[in-house]
Chains A and B, each alone.
Chain A
Amino acid sequence: MNEVVLIGIIASAISFATPYLYAAIGEMFAQRSGVVNLGVDGIMLMGAYVGFFVALNVPTPGGLWLGLLMAAVAGLLMGLLMSVISVTLKAEQGISGIGLYIFGLGLSSLLFRVTIGTVKTVDGFKPVPIPVLSGIPIIGPALFNQSVVVYGAFLLVPLAWFVLERTTWGLKIKAVGQSPASADSLGVSVNRVRYVCVCLGGMLAGIAGASMSLATVKLFQDNLTAGLGFIAVALVYFGGWRPLGILIGALLFSTINSLQNFMQVLNVGISPDLAVMLPYIITIVALMFPINRARQPAALNKPFERGEN
Chain B
Amino acid sequence: MPPASSATRRKIRAANWNDIAFSLALPLLAVLFALVVCAVILLLLGVNPLEAYAAMITGAFGSVSGITQSIAKATPLLLVALGICIAFRASVINIGAEGQIILGALAATAFSLAFRTLPAWLLVPLTMLAGFVAGAFWGFIPGVLKARFGVNEILSTVMLNVVAAQILLAMLKGPLMDTRGVTAGTFLPQSEQLPEAVWLPKLAPQTLMHTGAIVAVILAFVVYIFLWRTTIGYRIRAVGLNIDASRYAGIRVSIYQMLALTLAGGFAGLAGVVEVIGVQHRLLEGITSGYGFSGIVAALFGGLHPLGAIPASYLFGSLLVGADKMQRAMQVPSSLVDVLLGLVVLFVVGSQYYARKRAARRASTSVTTVEEEAATA
Contact = CB atoms under 8 A, between A and B. Distances in A.
Contacts of B350: 84-85, 89, 91, 96
B336 A106 contact: yes
B170 A287 contact: no
Interface stretch (B11-19, B146-154, B192-200, B208-216): B146-154
Interface in B303-359: 333, 335-346, 349-353
Nearest to A108: B335
B176 interface: no
A98 interface: yes
| Main SS at interface, chain A | helix
Contacts of B346: 81, 85, 91, 96, 99-100, 103
B357 to A, nearest CB: 10
Contacts of B293: 98, 101-102
A90 B336 contact: no
Contacts of A276: 162, 166
Contact of A107 (B145, B161, B339): B339
B374 interface: no
A274 B170 contact: yes
A230 interface: yes
Contacts of B344: 99
B181 interface: no
A114 B155 contact: no
A103 B154 contact: no
A89 B173 contact: no
B339 A273 contact: no
Contact of A91 (B342, B343, B352): B352
- Most A Cβ at <10 Å: residue of B45, B145, B343, B346: B346
Residues of A in contact with B, size category:
35 or more
Given A89-B350, A287-B152, A102 B145 contact: no
B274 to A, nearest CB: 23
A53 to B, nearest CB: 13
B26 interface: no
Contact of A110 (B159, B336, B353): B336
Contacts of A233: 155, 158
B43 interface: no
Contacts of A284: 145, 151, 156, 159-160
Given A85-B350, A110-B335, A114-B45, A95 B296 contact: yes
Nearest to B165: A227
Nearest to A103: B342
B167 interface: yes
7 nearest CB pairs, A to B: A106-B338, A103-B342, A99-B345, A102-B342, A109-B335, A91-B349, A106-B339
Interface of B: 41, 45, 93, 95, 145, 149-152, 154-156, 158-163, 166-167, 169-170, 173-174, 293-294, 296-297, 300, 333, 335-346, 349-353
